[in-house]
Chain A
Amino acid sequence: MANNKGKLTVSVLTLIIMTDIIESVAELFFKKGTLSTGIDNVTVDNAVLFMSKLLASSGFWTGLGLHATNFFLWAAVLSKVDLSVAFPTGSMSYILVALLSVVFLGEHISAYRWGGIVLIIIGIWFVSRSTRHEEAR
């Protein structure tokens, strides 16, 4: 299977970071959509009402549109590198969320979380190293 061999290059890494950012934003819009329904406890009785309110919200459709965009970006990523490379590298979203919550929300990051971020960075370095003998595409 020679067609799925590829290095984790800076351009592929950038694409993966973009999908991470878009996914986080999409989740925020989905959350906004569910909040706008005013229903915080979905049961069998109000499920239909909840769904109709959700489908009428702009948050839901914006979130869905962003996920569709991501689908095309992710397809481009998968055409370049192995799944066992692309998927773990996507864990960069954990770092992004932590850094964004410091910069924009002024949140405090615990020592555990900093430790986790360092481990994720080391992990991504190892994963990218695992591709260095692959043929560049």
Chain B
Amino acid sequence: MTLKILILVLIAEICNASMHTLFKRGINDIDIEHIRGFRNYLHFMKRVVTSPPVLLGLLMIIAGMGVWQLVLAHAELSMAFPLDSIQYIIILFSSYLFLGERINRDRIIGTAFIIGGIVLVAL
């Protein structure tokens, strides 16, 4: 695992985390009290697919996929997967910073357990 690959993985992870954050940002902007009933759901989805943050998020997926292909060309998959758990830390921070989510103690403990679990499963 060279430094170059590590940086590439980090860029791919940041692209992916930005995509998730942008999606959530776009969906938060849609003011729908309850999505009940099919008509309401269709209206919600129409707002989702025309939301600028969501569309920006889709661009992020494409960028992330491109960078990830470079990673796979250089690194063993078994090495790349445990690194995927960095994502959970980035998302915890971006949810707090950009989405104003309240991160309490249980959520941090839970996410830490999950990261530990993923590393063990990927070993």
Contacts and interface: CB of A to CB of B under 8 A. Distances in A.
A83 B112 contact: no
B23 A3 contact: no
Interface size class of A (residues with CB under 8 A): 35 or more
Interface in A24-49: 42
Interface of B: 20-21, 23-24, 27-28, 30-32, 34-35, 41, 44-45, 48, 73, 87-88, 91-92, 94-96, 99-101, 103-107, 109-123
A83 B57 CA distance: 14
Contacts of B116: 116, 119, 123
A1 B27 contact: no
Contacts of B44: 75, 79
A137 B115 CA distance: 28
B107 A83 contact: no
Contacts of B118: 91, 94, 116, 120
A12 to B, nearest CB: 12
Given A113-B123, A123-B112, 9 more contacts: A72-B45, A79-B30, A84-B95, A84-B101, A113-B120, A118-B117, A122-B110, A123-B117, A128-B110
B99 A82 contact: yes
Given A75-B48, A82-B99, A88-B88, A119 B110 contact: no
B120 A84 contact: no
Considering the complex of A and B, which 10 residue pairs feature the smallest CB-CB distances, nearest first? A126-B110, A116-B120, A123-B113, A119-B117, A123-B114, A120-B117, A116-B121, A127-B110, A130-B106, A84-B95
B57 to A, nearest CB: 10
A1 B115 CA distance: 28
A4 B88 contact: no
A69 to B, nearest CB: 12
A84 B59 CA distance: 22
